[in-house]
Amino acid sequence: MFVMHGGAGTITRQNLTPDMEKQYREKLEEALRAGHAILAKGGTSLDAVETSIRILEDSPLFNAGKGAVFTHDGRNELDAAIMDGKTKRAGTVAGVTIVKNPISAARAVMEKSPHVMMSGRGADLFATQVGLEIVDPSYFWTERRWKDLQRELMKENAASSHKGTVGAVALDQAGNLAAGTSTGGTTNKKYGRIGDSPILGAGTYAENESVAVSCTGTGEYFIRWTVAHDIAALYKYRGMSDHPRREGQLRDAVQYARDVSGVGRGGWRAARADL
């Protein structure tokens, strides 16, 4: 099983041209097919999640990697996480600025360091030392995201907006779950703000006993309500067996994040071993 999301956001039917919709659908399909192909050949859920997210990170369409939004200071600071449901090993990076594919940096933290989370310059240095592809910060400059920032800066009391965090969850043939999430965060974010994506249990979580979860939405709420872990806990502790009822309860679990976030946008994708 392989499931992805390209983020909650402010894309509506009104501001989505047919050509843009086609581009989004094609890129999502390419990423989905790549992840699915790995699973079909007996590959691991971790490889499927990382590979598919890298494809979306390389596209300017999504708020992750190349298409990351700008901070208040006109920089791009990227967050990502990956988690292995079998072992509960995980790696996350926050505020990286020169790593082309933050999801691979997160995986390197998991596999090549004794740590779980690295941030800022240290995370950039680690990614460089382990041989990941490094880019000049200008690589992340896109006109569309720059204009988004200018619009936010012009609004008084500008609220941060958010479009297009990407995520994937996978179940491989060995029965192992994995989850990954990658984002540029929120447009106009300040003071080293970190969202939910690289925080395990908030925006990303995986454990074989329950589910793999990747969330999208306004991170502050997902952190405060530990949404990803709550979803896993619903599966684990409530022992839900009836699918429609379980879906209803999961919707309740994230409804508060939507309700209180003001922008009213947020969501998640989950995969479970017995679905």
Q: Which residues are catalytic?
A: 165
Q: How far is the CB of 136 from ligand GLY (least distance, A)?
A: 23
Compare residues 87 and 255 and give the one whose CB is closer to ligand GLY.
255
Cα–Cα distance, 222 to 55 (Å, whole number): 25
The reply on whether position 203 binds ligand GLY by CB under 6 A is: yes
Q: How far is the CB of 37 from ligand GLY (least distance, A)?
A: 27
The reply on whether position 226 binds ligand GLY by CB under 6 A is: no
Q: How far is the CB of 33 from ligand GLY (least distance, A)?
A: 25
What secondary structure, in 3-state letters, does the chain show?
A: CEEEECCCCCCCCCCCCHHHHHHHHHHHHHHHHHHHHHHHCCCCHHHHHHHHHHHHHCCCCCCCHHHCCCECCCCCCEEEEEEECCCCCEEEEEEECCECCHHHHHHHHHHHCCCCEEEHHHHHHHHHHCCCCECCHHHHCCHHHHHHHHHHHHCCCCCCECCCCEEEEEECCCCCEEEEEEECCCECECCCCCCCCCCECCCEEECCCCEEEEEEECHHHHHHCCHHHHHHHHHHHHCCCCHHHHHHHHHHHHHHHHHHCCCCCEEEEEEECCC
Q: Quick one: which of 196, 253, 268, 269 contacts ligand GLY (CB under 6 A)?
A: 196
Compare residues 63 and 208 and give the one whose CB is closer to ligand GLY.
63
**Residues 155-184 interacting with ligand GLY (rule: CB under 6 A):** 162, 165, 183
**Residues 47-76 interacting with ligand GLY (rule: CB under 6 A):** none
Starting from the edge strand earliest in sequence, which strands make up the sheet with 2-5, in order? 2-5, 166-171, 177-183, 78-84, 90-96, 117-119
Q: How many residues does the chain have?
A: 275
Q: Quick one: which of 217, 234, 257, 271 contacts ligand GLY (CB under 6 A)?
A: 217
Q: Hunting for tokens 């990502």 — which residue is that?
A: 80
Q: Quick one: which of 182, 186, 187, 226 contacts ligand GLY (CB under 6 A)?
A: 186
Q: Quick one: which of 67, 219, 235, 268 contacts ligand GLY (CB under 6 A)?
A: 219
Q: How far is the CB of 189 from ligand GLY (least distance, A)?
A: 8
CA 90 to chain centre: 14
Q: How far is the CB of 94 from ligand GLY (least distance, A)?
A: 10
The reply on whether position 44 binds ligand GLY by CB under 6 A is: no
The reply on whether position 102 binds ligand GLY by CB under 6 A is: no
Compare residues 44 and 218 and give the one whose CB is closer to ligand GLY.
218
Q: How far is the CB of 203 from ligand GLY (least distance, A)?
A: 6
Q: Quick one: which of 35, 65, 185, 201 contacts ligand GLY (CB under 6 A)?
A: 185
Compare residues 8 and 171 and give the one whose CB is closer to ligand GLY.
8
> What residues line the site for ligand GLY (CB under 6 A)?
162, 165, 183, 185-186, 195-197, 203, 216-219
